[in-house]
Structures are given as structure tokens and as C-alpha cells.
Chain A
Amino acid sequence: MRAWLPFIIAGITNGSIYGMAAVGLVLTYKTSGIFNFAHGSQAALGAYLMFEFRERMGMPWPVAMLLALLLAGVVAGLLLERGAYGLASCSLAAKVTATVGLLVFIQGVLIAIFGAPSIPVRPFLSQKVFELGGTNVRVEQLIDVAVIFIAVAALYLFFTRAKLGLATQAVVDDPALLGLAGISPVAVRRFSWVVGSCFAALSGMLLAPALALDARLLTLLVFFAFGAAAVGAFSSLPLTYLGGIGLGLAASLTTKVIGEMKVTGPIQSLPANMPFIVLFVALLVLPTGKLVERGSQVVRRPLPPVILTRRGLAVTTAVGLTVALVVPHVVGARLPIYITGLAYVILFASLGLLVRTSGQVSLCHIAFAAVGASTAARAVSVGFPWPVAVLLGGLVAVPIGALLAIPAIRLSGVYLAIATFGFGLVIQRLFYSSMFMFGGRFEIRSPRPHLGGLHTHTDVGYYHVVLAVTVACLAVMVLIRRSRMGRLLRAFADSPTAVDANGTNTNELKVLVFSIAAFFAGIAGGLLGPITGTAAAASGIDVGGFDFSVSLLLITVLFVAGRQPIFSAVLGSVLLVILPSYATGATAVKWNPIIFGSLAIVAALFGGRSLVEWLASSRRLRERSVAHSPQAERTPVPRPADLALEGAR
């Protein structure tokens, strides 16, 4: 028992911090209907701010902490409340993209200012040690656990006893009614966001001394909170808190067990990944009735996509192909960047099929590409011809996409987004290093093809190979979009219920679309490896290899790039891959997340319309609405969507 105690104490301490972060997350979700993916980066923000005030400005730690809480908790909370209110009637994709964009943005800013390498942090709470039940406990640990317990308990009592607390339960369901009852819904929302943000920031500050300042790691660690929140079914505050402690304990104890067993392989990373596994499993087994979607059911009417005319399409295609064929002659040494860009066009187009066409949300798209990249590389190494190997990469990604369709069938909306997020992390952290994928060195050789005596292994040659594959993939995706399945997918995005009621099983549609998207992402992955000759798990490309953060960047950029299926894919790739290469080296990588994060937030707040689309169509839409003058021919009964629009104005 004595041997276990230190692990139990460490587990409870860490678990308390995760629990607090999770309680803050659930609180804001319950009162606004917006699931804040940026919660973790708020924690990082708090920790960095405290570091700045304390170490660089020389303030005493309590002052530094209070100031950091004021900024990362109170001020950020108030701003988030405004943003969340603006998002309330937006589509799910807009809601998810906005907070994912915020995550990318905050993380980008922190890395731009403080740098990516981690910075050690001096502990601020007492490190004195006392004995408890035969083992040593630090005063810091005791304070952490006690303070968090008091904070969470006070919040819980407040919710079950006080009037304002009870009001938070009602504020999502019917803010207007709450207003009539004499309680300002705005006050309730502000309160929740401020408390939720303070909890996030505080958890970051408490974790920092043990972990050091590392924007990526801190952001990721508070994703532990997602697991805890899942234990509480994204609803119960006490269960969420206990879930956090349970996760902390489980992670700590399995660390000990696995350490003693001296096993190797993926299982070693099990403790660190416990929360993602718990999150994923909880979403798979929790009764769907428990997972109530919060937030307004009145969704702002989606705008029809801007469709090019047949002639416009022909002209654009011709211009695009010409540009693509001229590129190798003019860009010189940058050609590998353009090859990457082509593969990213496939990635964006396949993500667009999933997100834009069929209205699903996926935050793990790069994981499919990773599967494709590693499979293709391994297939080549065991002697498959190169084209077959790339195709195999796509095919192996299919069952994995279909696997992801299982939560997609059970879950809808934001829970699906969370599940895909957890899924991507599980694949990356448990399987990237396995011998099926990149192996323990996180990279494998991925040679370029030698096809039929052509110089396809040179930059120019390989560019043309990838161009041909890209054009073929895009053509197939256009065909799919225009086929029966494409029509059904578009219908499905608007109303799954109606598709079912007319005879097509939407579960099958989900499996199909996830499989197809995974297939093309796998192909794109297979093309990426040979650019450098090495398929590597987390390096190689400027945007970060196959790290899960690329999935987040992909969806934010796609959101900025518009809804036109192929054009948005090309534009997305230009924005994410090509343009940054022309800015001077390190700066571009630094600014990328900041720019795309903020653009995605703005795009989401502007009614889910991308900036590009807004620029392209604002004039036409204005003319059309004047021509039809919808008010004149409308019946006196307004539709809920119209009311929502009016409310938003």
C-alpha cells in the first residue's frame, strides 16, 4: 500500500485540476450551448500571463496570479460571452469552427510571443513536505486539492441553492422567459463565462510548475477535461469533478503498473492517453438520451452555396489547369511546396465533402492522411508498385473512416465533433508510433516512384504525378457530389430526418461519406510522404506533419475558404501551404495559426459565411433580395428562422 500512496496523491492532485477545468467547461457549455474547444488554450493563456507578470515584471506571485485571472478569466470570459451569444443561432459547423479557431489563435499568439520550447516555471506554492499515512505529501498538493474542492463545492451549492444559480439552468432553454421572471439572462451568461474562464486559467496556473510552460502541452492537457466532462455526460458538475479525479488517479496508477511491468510498445503511452480513451468510450457507451444537445434549436437559415455557371466552371477549370502546368517552370526551388499544396487540395476537398456537403464535423482528418502515408510507405517497402501502394494507403484508411462513423451514427452535433477530436488523438498518440504506422522513430522511408522509364522521381516529374492524381481525385469527388449520393448528402446536411422519412437510411450515408472522405485523405497522405522521401509523424511539412493540430487548422482554413467545393479546396491549400512559404521562413509558421484562427472566428460570427464568399456574393445577394422582396409575398406568420434572424440583428 505504501508504494501506491505517492501515486494516489499525485493522481488526486492532478485529477482535481483536471476536474476544475472540466467543471468550467461544462458550466459554459450548459449555459451557452457553445462547447468551448479553446478551453485548454485559455488555461495556457492564464499560465503564460502569470509567468509574464511574475518573472518578467517581477510582481509577487499572488498579484501576478490575480492579474492573470483578471485578464484570462474575467476579461476573456466577458468577451467570450459576447462571442458565444453571437454564435447561438449559427450552424454547428460555425460554432465548432469558431472555438477551434480561438484555440488555434491563442496557441499561435502564445508561441509567437514566448516561443515554442517549454519554459520552466518556479513553483509558487510551498514545497514543504509533511508525512501523511507514511508517505510524503507536499503542501502545494494539499493546497491545490483543498482550494479546488472548495471552489467546486461552492459553485455546486450556488447552483442548487441561489436564485441566480438556478437561473443558469434555464438560460439556454428560454432566455426570454427568464428575462420576464426578472433575471437578466445576460447576467447569468456573463457569470458562467467568467467563472468557467477563471477555472480554466487557474488550472493552467496550477499545472504550470509541474509541467513547465508549453503552449501545446498545456492546451492538450486541459483536453483531459474533455474526458472528465464526458464522465459527467457534459451536464453534471459533481460527476464531472469526480470524473476528473478518477481520471487523474487512473492515469497515475496505470503509470505505476505499466512502469513495473516493463512493457514496451504503444501500451506505454496508455496512462497519458487515458482521458482521450475515456472520452471516446464514454461517447460510445453513454445512452444517447443522456447526451442532450444544449443550445438553441433554432438554427439560422443556411445560405445556398454559390454555384458557378457551366461556362464559369469550364473557364475556371481551364485556368486552374494552365496555372498548375506552368508552375514547375516558374517557381524553381519552391516546387516541393507546390507538390505539398496539391496533396492538400485533395485533403481539403475530401474534408469539404464531409463538412460542407454532408454537414458532418470532423476534427481528425489528418489522422486518415497519416494512415495513408504510413501504409503507402510500408507497402512500397515490401515491394508493392508505387501506384498500388498509394491506393492501398487510401483503402486502409477506409475501415478507419467507417469506424469513426460508429460514433457518428450514435452522436450528433457537437458530441460528434468531440468524438472525432478524441478519435484523432487516440490514433496519433497510441498508434502513430506502432509498427503498423510510423514506428518508434516516428518516421519511415517513403521513396518517390519510378514509373515506366519517366523521370517521376525528380521534383518536376513527381509534381506531374501528384498533379495527375489530384486532378483524378477531384474529378471523382465532383462526380460523387453530382451523383445520387451527392444529392442525398446535401439533403442529409439540411434535414437528416426527412431523408430517413423518404426511404434512405442516413446511418448508411454516414458510413459511406466518412469512408469516402477517409479514402481520399489516405491518398493525399500517400502523396505527401515521398515529397521529402520520408513519411514522418510530426514533422516534414511546414504546417506540422500529421499532428492533430493540422486537423484543426484544416477545418478553420476550409471555413475561411468558402463553400464552392473545388475552388475552396484549392484556395485553402494556397492559403495554408503556398502563401506562407513566400513569407520569410519562421515568421510565416508563426503567423499562420494567428491569421487563420482569427479569420475563422470572424467568418463564424458573420453568420457562417466565409469571407471569400461574402466578398464574392454580397452584391449579387443584395440585388436578388431586392428583386424578390420576400416580405411582400410572405404570409403574416413568421417562421422561427426569421425570428432568429431578427433577434440577431
Chain B
Amino acid sequence: MSLTAEVPVQSTDAPDLVVDGLTVRFGGLVAVDDVSLRARGGVITGLIGPNGAGKTTTFNSCTGLNTPSAGTVVLGDRTLDGHSPAWRARLGLGRTFQRMELFDTMTVRENVEIGREALLAGKRRWTGRLFSTPAEAAVCSTEAEEAMEQCGITDLANRTVGDLSTGQRRLVELARAMAGDFRFLLLDEPSSGLDVGETEQFAAILSGVVDREGIGILLVEHDMALVRAVCSYIYVLDFGKLIYEGSAADVLSSELVKAAYLGSEAAEVE
């Protein structure tokens, strides 16, 4: 039950995401305080904690949306510090957002295709930034079809995203991230706003992605049923500090974690 608990390792070439000594300050407030964690490739790692614990702030540091005052973030063998969000995405780090960031005036298909197209455009130079080749267009199209298929939203392909329900929108955002050829995904409360049935569907999709693509996922989530179902290892944040880590069973039975967080949350879920 200690902090040196054995991490389940699955053999894979997918890179690990390593956060080391991360500290983020907003003025006088220390939002994230010396947090270190390792999310392995090929498995789903959970990052849980009460609201305001610093989970999304940690995500934002990983993807370059804020500037940490200390600490490093490493994906595989590349350190990400100081690079732009787009650069990190091109290196293979994808994410979704707690408050979904979707292209509301565009169709589902266009949204998902841009998951790949933005990546291709970012990697090309000069005219490649402006125009796609037929081969690239084909890649975008097939990747998008596949991602929509896996997320079960193929029948929504021509709907405008702004018209969809929350659950459908979550799936569109996940599909966009899946179309993007990422090697590691950060998912920020993907199940919030989903009903029980949709959440079960979501768990199946996530496990499927990891099995098929062999990528790693770091999952911020409040729904303990989902966390229990998919996460092989869990980190617990409270007031910006890492208070516990261990396997799903360890964490969910820990008194410390219950006191900090699960007490109220578990009651809500059950």
C-alpha cells in the first residue's frame, strides 16, 4: 500500500508520459505542488481527486497551455518543456477538454477529420500548410471513418456538432483525438454529462482503443465506476498535492482517499 507499489507493466512500444516535480502557481495560489507521476504506454492510468485538486491544471501543463514554475514533462524520450501546444500535439500528445472544445458550426465528420488534418498541416511546410494532397485527404477520410466507427457515431457524421447532445459531443471529441495519430491521450472528464448507459459504452471504447492502438491514456474522471472498469493504476490529487497512488483496488479501498474524496463522491455514484 505504500507509494512504491508495483506498477502493472504491459509490454508495448507506446511512450510513457512522465511528470516530474511539477509545480504551477497562479499568483499566490499553488494549484499544483510538486507532483510527479508516470503514466505508462499501453494502459489507462487514472488521475482522480476532488474539484479544484489540480487535475486539469496538470493536464494544461502537459499540453503547454500554462507555464509551470517548476518541473518537467517528458513523453517517451523527449522533454516537452517550453514547447507550444501544437508542437506537443505533433510529437504525439493528444487531449480532450473538460469543457468540450469542438468546432460547433462544422459537421461531425469535419470535426473528426480535422483531428488528423490539423496534425498533417502542422507537420508540412509552405504549400502543405495550405493545401492537402489527395493522398492526405484519403488518410484523413479513412482515419475519420474508422474513429467514428469505433466511437459508434458514424450515423451522426453529417450532423452539425452544435446540435448534438452532451454525450454525443463527448464521443465526437474522443473520435477527433483518436483520428489524430496520437501516441498518448489525456482525457479530461470524458464521461461528465453522460448517463449510465453511455458511460458503459465509453468504457468499452476506451479499453478497445488501448488494446488496438497500444497507446497510453491518462484519464481524469469523477465517475468511479468508469475508473474502476478501465484504469490499471491510479494517482490521487488533493489540494494540488499527490496524496496517494496504487492499483485501482488499492486506491478505492484506501481510507485516506475515501476521506479526501470518495466519501461524498462514492455516495453519489452508488
A residues contacting B by CB (< 8 A) are 301-305, 480, 483-485, 487-488, 490-491, 493-495, 497-506, 508, 512, 628, 630, 633-637, 639-641
Which of A480, A484, A630 has the most CB atoms of chain B within a 10 A radius of its CB?
Answer: A484
Expressed in whole angstroms, the Cα–Cα distance for A639 and B198 within the complex equals: 17
Contact indicator B117/A487 (Cβ below 8 Å): yes
The residue in A303, A498, A512, A630 that gathers the most chain B C-beta atoms within 10 A of its C-beta is A498
Tell me whether B121 is interfacial, beta carbon within 8 Å: yes
Can you add 18 more A-B contacts, CB < 8 Å, to A485-B131, A497-B65?
A304-B105, A304-B160, A483-B131, A484-B117, A484-B132, A490-B103, A495-B103, A500-B85, A501-B63, A502-B89, A502-B118, A503-B90, A504-B86, A504-B122, A505-B122, A508-B129, A635-B193, A635-B198
A630 and chain B: residue at smallest CB distance: B163
Min CB–CB distance A613 → chain B (angstroms): 13
B195 within 8 A of A: yes
One digit per residue, 1 when the CB lies within 8 angstroms of any chain A CB and 0 when it does not, for chain B 135-156 equals: 0000000000000000000000
Contact of A635 among B89, B102, B163, B167 (CB under 8 A): B167
**Mask of B107-132 contacts with A, CB within 8 angstroms, 1/0:** 00011011101111111000001111
B94 contacts A502, C-beta separation under 8 Å: yes
- Assembly CA distance A396 to B169 (angstroms): 44
The answer on a CB contact under 8 Å between A499 and B118 is yes
Min CB distance B114 to A, Å, is 5
In the complex, A451→B160 CA distance in Å?
A: 49
Chain A residues within an 8 Å CB radius of B169: 639
A–B complex contacts, Cβ < 8 Å, 5 sampled: A484-B132, A497-B65, A500-B85, A503-B120, A637-B193
User: How far is A499 from B160 in the complex, measured between Cα atoms in Å?
Assistant: 18
Task: Check B86–A304 contact: CB distance below 8 A.
Answer: no
The number of chain B residues with a CB under 8 A from chain A is: 47
Q: Which of A302, A480, A512, A640 makes the CB contact (< 8 A) with B105?
A: A302
Given A502-B119, A635-B194, A635-B195, also A301-B162 (CB < 8 A): yes
- On whether the beta carbons of A494 and B106 are closer than 8 Å, the reply is yes
Identify which of A493, A503, A637, A641 gathers the most chain B CB atoms within 10 Å of its CB. Answer: A503
Please, which residues of chain A bring their CB within 8 A of the CB of B94?
A: 501-502
Return chain B residues, CB-CB under 8 Å to A504.
Answer: 86, 118-119, 121-122
Residues of chain B contacted by A305 (CB below 8 angstroms): 105
Q: Is the CB of A502 within 8 A of B195?
A: no
Given A302-B105, A502-B94, A512-B129; A491-B118 close (CB under 8 Å): yes
Query: Which secondary structure dominates where chain B touches chain A?
Result: helix
Whether a CB of chain A sits under 8 angstroms from the CB of B253 is: no
B residues in contact with A497, CB < 8 Å: 65, 85, 97, 101
What residue of chain A has the Cβ atom nearest to residue B161's Cβ? A494
A-B CB proximity, top 3 nearest: A503-B122, A502-B118, A503-B119
Query: Which residues of A sit under 8 angstroms from B55, Cβ to Cβ?
Result: none
Decide: B121 and A484 in contact? CB cutoff 8 A.
yes
A488 touches B114 (CB 8 A): yes
Kindly state whether residue B79 has any CB partner on chain A within 8 Å. no
Q: Are B180 and A502 in contact (CB under 8 A)?
A: yes
The residue on A at minimum CB distance from B113 is A487
Chain A residues within an 8 Å CB radius of B123: 503
Chain A residues with CB under 8 Å of B163's CB are: 628, 630
A305 to B121 alpha-carbon distance, docked (Å): 24
Q: Which residues of B contact A491 (CB under 8 A)?
A: 103, 106, 110-111, 114, 118
Which residue of B is nearest A634, CB measured? Answer: B165
**A-B Cβ contacts below 8 A, count:** 130
Chain B: minimal CB distance from A485 (Å): 4
Bound: A418/B165 CA distance, A: 36
Say how far A301's CB is from chain B's closest CB, in angstroms.
5
Residues of A within 8 A of B113 (CB): 487
- Name A303's closest neighbour in chain B (CB-CB): B105
A480 CA / B198 CA spacing, docked (Å): 39
Is B104 an interface residue when CB atoms closer than 8 A count as contact? yes
**Most-contacted residue by chain B among A302, A487, A504, A628 (CB, 10 A):** A504
CA distance A640 to B176 in the complex (A): 22
Contacts of B84 in A (CB 8 A): 500, 505
* In the bound complex, CA of A503 to CA of B124 (Å): 11
Contacts of A485 in B (CB 8 A): 121, 129-131
**Inside 8 A of A630's CB, which chain B residues have their CB?**
163, 165
Q: Does B95 contact A (CB under 8 A)?
A: yes
| Interface: B72 (CB within 8 A) | no
Given contacts A484-B129, A501-B89, A630-B163, contact A494 B193 (CB under 8 A): no
A485 to B113, CA, bound (A): 13
Q: How many Å lie between the Cα of A301 and that of B161 in the bound state?
A: 10
A8 to chain B, nearest CB (A): 39
In the complex, chain B residues whose CB is within 8 Å of the CB of A490: 103, 105-106
Residue among A305, A633, A641 having the largest count of chain B Cβ atoms under 10 Å: A633
- Among B104, B118, B198, the most chain A Cβ lie within 10 Å of the Cβ of B118
A499–B166 Cα distance when bound, in Å, is 20
Q: Chain A's nearest CB lies how many Å from the CB of B153?
A: 13
Q: B132 touching A639 by the CB < 8 A rule?
A: no
Residues of A within 8 A of B160 (CB): 304
Given A501-B63, A501-B95: A488 and B105 interface contact (C-beta under 8 Å): no
* List of B residues within 8 angstroms of A512 by Cβ: 129-130
> Which residues of B are found within 8 Å of A500, using beta-carbon distances?
84-86, 89
Are A503 and B180 in touch, CB under 8 angstroms?
A: yes
Nearest CB in chain A to that of B194: its residue = A635
Q: How far is the CA of A498 from the CA of B188 in the complex (A)?
A: 13
Which chain A residues lie closer than 8 Å to B132 at the CB level? 483-484
Please give the distance in Å from B125's CB to the nearest CB on chain A: 11
